[in-house]
Amino acid sequence: MSINCKSSYNCPVEATIDLIGGKYKSVILWHLMGKTLRYSELHKLVPKATDKMLAQQLRELENDGLINRKIYPVVPPKTEYSLTDFGNTLAPILDAMCDWGSVYLDEVNTPPTCSKSQN
């Protein structure tokens, strides 16, 4: 596995935010934890993302070594996404984000539309 590293980072938090801080990156990673999903399945799970934005976020996650993309030579083309071993190391961070977000949503009386049990 080749991981792209940008040498301009001054702080580990900055590097983390750059890798998972895109508009839908963390949500995509969350949904891929322990699963392999097709593009259409991801799009249903992240309905606010436009096709262009979802494709861009997936491409960036792949380029950063966080997800695998597998293309099957069938008609119509079938593409599956999964976490790399490196991407799987984000599980504790994503779990903590989910826990924190759940507390926040509870505080503002907003029911979540996804949960750990769905993952």
Tens of pLDDT along 12-44? 999 999 999 989 999 999 999 999 999 999 999
Which secondary structure element, helix H or strand E, spans residue 38, and what is its range?
Answer: strand 36-38
What would the two tokens of residue 32 be? 């891929």
Identity (one letter) of the amino acid at 94?
A: L
pTM reported for the whole predicted model: 0.86
53 contacts: CB under 8 Å, gap ≥ 6: 23, 24
Query: What mean pLDDT is predicted for residues 92-104?
Result: 92
Architecture per CATH, domain 12-89, reads as: Orthogonal Bundle (1.10)
What percentage of residues in the chain have a pLDDT greater than 70? 89
